[in-house]
Amino acid sequence: MKKTLLYIIFAVLLSVFTLPKVFAKDVVPIRPNAMQASTIGLYQVGNDITIYKEPDENSQILYRVRWDEDEFFPAEIGAEKFFVVLLPKRSLALVSVMDYDDNWVEIMYDNTTGKTGWIKKDDPYKFMSWISFYNSYGKKYGLTLLKSSPESCNNIKSAPDDLAKTISTINHPQKINLSIIRGNWALVSVLDLDRMPKTGYVRWRSDDGVRYFFPTLKEDF
């Protein structure tokens, strides 16, 4: 009986220490995500997050997410699904927000399926609406046109309107500077491969909220 128990304990310990490590690598958007279209903004989280089914500490705990510069847990979610932006070395970790109140934030904890849960709010200033996020990070670091965005997103318009005249196009952008956001349009100045600045409006998101441009964030930004 004792030998059997010792064998079970040994097997459990062996399985724990031989599990493959899931690294917490940088996460930044590459392509538009229609699943996030209904989100209202972003919340900056710490490195130990408890996700509840309801905005109540007595409700079911769905997951406990932990991460550092070397790894992410749990593996079945994965950093790419959980975060909108993760730059571990800069301790910048942003998740998409569905709703919030004085004490709780409803987040989308799986950006591929749209699954949501609630986390306890630890700082009222960690929430940013999408517009605030773009005005802060987009103006400072510029914008990147996401892969697989509609071809029309390359069109630079004379006014924030689909029917406005196309005055230029984005071909091989070296830098896209953001000046101002007006609804679903952004006034930008684009420095293309030909080094000629082009200024006008681009559609940064669709009418239903799918974002085609994103602030240029990377580890050394």
Query: What are 145-176's pLDDT values in tens digits?
Result: 999 999 999 999 999 999 999 999 999 999 99
Q: Which of 77, 95, 130 is the last residue before a domain boundary?
A: 130
pLDDT of residue 219: 55
Query: What are 17-29's pLDDT values in tens digits?
Result: 444 445 557 999 9
Q: Which of 105, 130, 155 is the last residue before a domain boundary?
A: 130
For residue 49, the enclosing domain spans 20-130
pLDDT of residue 142: 96
List CB contacts of 73: < 8 A, sequence separation 6 or more: 22, 65, 66, 67
148 and 72 share a domain? no
pLDDT of residue 73: 95
Q: Which of 74, 98, 130 is the last residue before a domain boundary?
A: 130
User: In this model, does residue 15 exceed pLDDT 70?
Assistant: no
Query: What are 36-94's pLDDT values in tens digits?
Result: 999 999 999 999 999 999 999 999 999 999 998 889 999 999 999 999 999 988 889 99
